[in-house]
Amino acid sequence: MRDVSLTSDVTGSVWKVLVAPGERVQNGQPLVVVESMKMEIEMLAPADAVVTSILVQEGQMVEEDQALLLLCST
């Protein structure tokens, strides 16, 4: 197992967090939606993993490459 962070691909506002700590996710599953320039962009799980921590809140502004979640890959 290894720890992985999910980072934002864009600068924008966290529109929706789709998961909770402890939840198992699958590679490619949408985890967070970031709104940027009136577009909703899904941030996808990079691997099968368990969500260990959520680092942002809905409505929060984020920068490109900012960590959104911490995951422990299985």
Residue 6 is predicted with a pLDDT of: 96
Residue 2 is predicted with a pLDDT of: 82
Can you give the three-state secondary structure of the chain, one letter per residue? CEEEEEECCCCEEEEEECCCCCCEECCCCEEEEEEECCEEEEEECCCCEEEEEECCCCCCEECCCCEEEEEEEC
Confidence category of residue 74, pLDDT binned at 50, 70, 90: confident
The CATH code belonging to domain 2-73 is 2.40.50.100
Start-to-end CA distance of the chain, whole Å, equals 5
pTM value surpassing 0.85: yes
Q: Give yes or no for a contact between 31 and 73, defined as CB atoms under 8 angstroms apart.
A: no
Q: For residue range 15-67, what is the model confidence (pLDDT) as tens digits?
A: 999 999 999 999 999 999 999 999 999 999 999 999 999 999 999 999 999 99
Res. 1: pLDDT tops 80: no
